[in-house]
Amino acid sequence: MSALVQPAADQPAVDQPAVDQPAPPRRLRVTHPPREVDLATAEAAAAEMLRALGLPVDGADMVETPRRLVHAYAELLTIPEFDLTTFENAAGYDELVLVRDIPVRSLCEHHLLPFVGVAHVGYLPGDRILGLSKFARVVDFFARRAQTQERLTTQVADHLQERLAPLGVGVVIEAEHSCMSLRGARAEGARTVTSMLRGRLREDPSARAEFLSLTRQGGTR
């Protein structure tokens, strides 16, 4: 089908072929129900806890510590909203897309101590492809809460599988837990590795092997 281009006054009308316009990106707002936060009550409770632990919280050096402690946790637990932007897979790309070494910072729900590491996230595209920065956005979105590393890994994989509908999704997270390195066993340098695979990356042995092999080639280990 052709489109008629309006001619200038001294030119005859001519038929011009229609130009296919690229499909616009699709943006899905990713949000989280707001939590009730009472910083004043938290600060008073933090002061009582530190005082009960025998710390000089009323002294000049620590008088601001309860406030700083509460605001630090509030920052770590504030879940950012973002747009999950996808594009039409116009080129029909069907090979693995992998983003390695995405920073992970989260809190262990058992001790409220940080665990820190990297995530490797990949997928086999279906009808749509994901904007590359959104891999890090998804990881950060689910990392900003008190949880286990196993749950974080599953949440990232399931979110991408549900919202992107790819042929397969794979997530590997490697992290050092300060609840294990600074206390208890004090196993400094020990890293916990978790993985979750969906679709063809779980069911197809060759696709699974390729994904796991590529995640081991990162430069942080």
Catalytic residue among 43, 176, 179, 210: 179
Catalytic residue among 120, 149, 159, 174: 149
**Is 177 annotated as catalytic?**
yes
Catalytic residue among 120, 155, 174, 177: 177
**Is 179 annotated as catalytic?**
yes
1, amino acid identity: M
142, amino acid identity: F
Secondary structure E strands in the chain: 2-5, 14-17, 26-30, 82-88, 97-108, 114-124, 128-130, 146-147, 168-177, 192-199
**Is 149 annotated as catalytic?**
yes
Of 164, 220, 219, 217, the residue nearest 191 (C-alpha): 220
196, 149 in Cβ contact below 8 A? no
Residue 77 is classified by DSSP as T
* CA gap 200, 179 in Å, rounded: 35
**Is 110 annotated as catalytic?**
yes
Q: Which two tokens stand for residue 149?
A: 């590393």
**Is 120 annotated as catalytic?**
no
Q: Which two tokens stand for residue 122?
A: 């990949």
Catalytic residue among 111, 147, 176, 210: 111
**Is 32 annotated as catalytic?**
no
The full 3-state SS of 173-201, as one line of letters, equals EEEEEHHHHCCCCCCCCCCEEEEEEEEHH
Catalytic residue among 64, 81, 110, 203: 110
- The catalytic site residues sit at 108-111, 149, 177, 179
